[in-house]
Amino acid sequence: MPSNNALLLGNKRTERSGGGRRWLRRLGLFALAMVVLLPILYLVFLRWTRIDAPRIDAQVRKAAELPVEIKGQRATLGASWMSRERGVWEEHLEGEPYALGYAQARLGSRLLLEQEDYMFSEMNHYVPSKVALFLIRVGVRLKFRHVADYLPAERQEEIAGLAAGSIDRHSDFLPTYHRLVFYHALHDITQGLEHSPLLGCSAFAAAGSATSNGHLIIGRNFDFEGPEIFDREKSVLFFKPKGRIPFASVAWTGMSGVVTGVNAEGIYVSINAARTEDKGKDGMPVEILVRQILEEAHTLDEAIALVKKTPVMVPDFYLLGDGKSGESAVVERSPTRAEVRRSKDVTLLTNHALQPAFAGDAENDRLKRYMTSGARFRRLEELTKKWHGQIDPKKALEILRDKHGAGGETLGLGNRNTLDAIIATHSVIVDATNLVLWVGEGPHCLGKYRAFDLRKELLSEDRPAPADLPEDPIAQTDEYRAYVLASASLKAAERLVGEKEPERAIEEARKAEALEELMPEPHRLLGDALKARGDRDGARKEYQRFLELSPPYLKDIEEVKGILGTL
């Protein structure tokens, strides 16, 4: 007979075994519920964060969705056309908002495909993990789900036209219209990134006694540490929106928004990225706001009022000019502040605020001291003072192409402390009084600046064609060719460091420093590589040479000085 203890133990084992099975069943049911529930929740999330295109009347679509016809060098669609007859792409777009977008997409199909394919290839390169990419997409959809609420109805219709005319290869990432809306807010979405490629523009306006003829002359470099395709395939877009002020925009195909533009009333607008402590609110994407200014503003006061009253997501500074009055202004705009400085003489702008309201702003101060904004501003001050009274389009181009540091310091080509760091995606000069626009055909600021008479392009007036401005004399020199090779070797060295090939990286960095003796970056890379190899003397020598060559970023200078203190 089994003992009572044995019976008791058997019962406990049975109870334990039964309890374990119950937990397993519960766990299985929970897992099954998650398998069913999570996809449903994700679908709900997608629906909740989806940005849908507006409904477009069937008659509007029918009138806009015409076939593309080829007439010589021009592709035409209704009243709109596109060509590259004058060194840069130009698109002439006319009609209702939906028709403007549809024509732009159809006429520029190849460019849109190449640009978007490049952006996705870069994204997959830098974020190879599908899980990380999924989480980024979820985060962006969630944070910016309300961005379309701040788009005027006309822009929503125009972007819907862009979506309808586009060839879609990336709907698995986001639906076409949703994706295009995000593209028009990409400046705002990426503005907070430490290494944002859009943080380096320089601009100035001169009028009255500062110029040779009293006209309002504006120069602007849109510096963008981005892919070469956006420099090579830049576009001048001439918009004639029905019932609005016609205007010219310098950007690239696929943009309904504007970063640099001038309208038929002589109102000029461009933006420079900024950093301030107050950021992150909902608001209108900046390039859509600039578009609104160009379509609506007849005077400088009207332009300023639009910037001040419109809610924005991120800080940016707006250079505004009025060719009729000769007055220019900078609006230093953040999500909670709008400060204005005006002049009928000279107005300068890089990427930091000057107004007292931003004096205690740590982010603005950090940008001024740690980035290149302060150095570029000082150089702009020197050059506009030097040429005061003589500034005309040719002198403006000389300023934009300046490759010296503050005080006239000789720097290596491409140094980010210079006004022309050979990274401009587009560079423009505007005579806002005479309504003439010059656009650098590239690369960067080196090529000819093609002249466009805005009275002809926007108002159909006939007068003698303005002359182009010549290419940079350095473009055909051995010095520039050596710089191009040095830059390629430096990029190769940086890649080899990432791929754990230190000896090969050292070889490429040596090539770069031999080709461009005044380039600081190869010396920093060599210092790091030699230090890791245990060559303290060699590293010390490279670090000291790095500091002698005016490296552009204070953070790098402080790091190298700290390392030298340990060698």
The fold of 202-476 is Penicillin V Acylase; Chain A (3.60.60)
Say what percent of the chain tops pLDDT 70: 92
Tell me if 346 sits within 8 A of 204, measured CB to CB: yes
Q: How confident is the model at residue 41 (pLDDT cuts 50, 70, 90)?
A: confident
The strand pair at 327-333 and 80-83 is best described as unpaired
Q: Above 80 in pLDDT, residue 199?
A: no
pLDDT of residue 130: 83
Q: How confident is the model at residue 512 (pLDDT cuts 50, 70, 90)?
A: very high
Domain ranges of the chain: 58-183, 202-476, 480-564
**Which is nearest to 436 in space by CA: 396, 399, 393?**
393
How far is it, in rounded angstroms, from Cα 334 to Cα 97?
Answer: 29
Alpha-carbon distance of 402 to 202, in angstroms, equals: 11
Separation between Cα atoms, residue 445 and residue 452, nearest integer Å: 17
CA distances from 313 to 50, 73, 145, 297, 317 (A): 20, 41, 13, 22, 13
pTM of structure = 0.91
CATH class for the domain made up of 480-564: mainly alpha
- What 3-state class would DSSP assign to 321? strand
Answer yes or no: is pLDDT of 475 > 90.
yes
Q: Evaluate if residue 381 carries a pLDDT over 80.
A: yes
Please state which of the ranges 78-92, 115-129, 294-308, 321-335 shows the lowest mean pLDDT.
115-129
Strand partners, 70: 75
Average pLDDT, the chain: 91
- Band (pLDDT 50/70/90 cuts) for residue 9 is very low
Alpha carbon distance 254, 257 (integer Å): 9
How far is residue 441's CA from residue 435's CA, in Å, rounded to a whole number?
19
pLDDT digits (tens, 9 = 90+) for 438-472: 999 999 999 999 999 999 999 999 999 999 999 99
Please give the Cα distance from 83 to 102 (Å, whole number). Answer: 17
Amino acid at 50: R
- 3-class DSSP state for residue 307? helix
- The whole-angstrom separation of Cα 44 and Cα 35 is 15
The residue type at 298: H
Residue 171 pLDDT: 83
Is the pLDDT at 521 greater than 60? The verdict is yes
| Tens digits of residue pLDDT in 326-355 | 999 999 999 999 999 999 999 999 999 999
For the range 402-405, what are the long-range contacts, defined as Cβ-Cβ under 8 Å and sequence gap of 24 or more? 403/474, 404/379, 405/375, 405/379, 405/550
pLDDT value of position 31: 65
CB–CB of 59/206 below 8 Å? no
- State whether residue 123 is helix, strand or coil: helix
Which pLDDT band, with edges at 50, 70 and 90, does 193 fall under?
low
